[in-house]
Amino acid sequence: MAEILDGLKVSKEIKQEIKAEVEKIVAGKRRAPHLVAILVGNNGASKAYVNAKVKDCEEVGFQSSLVKFPSTVSESELLEKIDELNKSKAVDGFIVQLPLPDQIDQEKIINAIDPRKDVDGFHPENFGRMALEMDTFLPATPFGILTLLERYNIETKGKDCVIIGRSKIVGRPMSILMGRKDFPGNSTVTLTHSYTKDIEEYTKKADIVITALGDPHFLKGDMIKDGAVIVDVGITRVDDDSPKGYYLAGDVDFDSCAAKASWITPVPGGVGPMTRAMLMKNTIIAYKTSVYND
């Protein structure tokens, strides 16, 4: 049976480290880091995720603010708020929770964020710096996966890594980061997607499989080789007959893959908590490097 890459455990350790750092900052008579979240509309998943981020801020000692807009907000109103946050010396980083309503150009919103406050790591400038292996904010989920592999000392150098899914948020940046000249990294990376023929031909040869599809139980045990490291980014609500009426499923068929893998992330409790912890990490990095932090 595979050993567990316990994202919940590691994320708690990281938040404790950040909390200790914030306590030293405050003890030195400096203000605590400040993270702002912008929430548009009433999407249940988005609300839950933003509320979790606010709770994380409280845990580590950050100041946090939540800015809510109705789903009918205009693009110009949202851009005006972003400009205000960009200019504020009291704000170190902020996020705009995605997805956004149809009347708003998502790319225009992302491009409007000051790259120095882009703690989600989505701005083209930060993405470009990441691709060039320069210091920058990394997208929170890939950052969380890298940190999890690092904390468990998973060997990546010279390994064959297959990534399933090419989203701008996870798959594409993950493919860049696993191929970088660093640890974790130095892997030979194959990025697969919906048009890839016979994905199992790639996954059966892979030392590391990272899947971010949103397709429950997609990756089966007969699609991986013995001893593979499996990282499951997917999380989907699947209806069942339980009192809740659903359960949370990853992209990986856990039981069959765990029987063959060396390491595997659970769902929930794997990548999700790491994503949230890395947002806190990016915020304190923004605080320490901010031109406004005097």
Query: What is the rounded CA–CA span in Å between residue 121 and residue 279?
Result: 9
Q: Is 151 annotated as a binding residue?
A: no
Q: Is 165 annotated as a binding residue?
A: yes
Query: What is the rounded CA–CA span in Å between residue 230 and residue 266?
Result: 10
Q: Is 145 annotated as a binding residue?
A: no
The residues that are catalytic are: 53, 97, 120
Q: CA separation (Å) from 126 to 134, 137, 230, 264?
A: 9, 6, 27, 29
Q: Are 116 and 254 in contact (CB under 8 A)?
A: no
- The string of DSSP codes covering 106-134 is HHHHHHHS-GGGBTT--SHHHHHHHHTT-
HEC sequence for 139-195: CHHHHHHHHHHHHCCCCCCCCEEEEECCCCCCHHHHHHHHCCCCCCCCCEEEEECCC
The two structure tokens encoding residue 66:
């939540």
Helices (H), the chain: 7-27, 44-60, 75-87, 106-112, 124-131, 140-151, 171-178, 199-203, 254-258, 271-289
Q: Is 61 annotated as a binding residue?
A: no
Which residues face 109 on adjacent strands?
none
Q: Are 147 and 156 in contact (CB under 8 A)?
A: no
Q: Are 249 and 238 in contact (CB under 8 A)?
A: yes
Query: What is the rounded CA–CA span in Å between residue 12 and residue 98?
Result: 25
Annotated binding residues for NADP(+): 165-167, 235
Binding-site positions: 165-167, 235
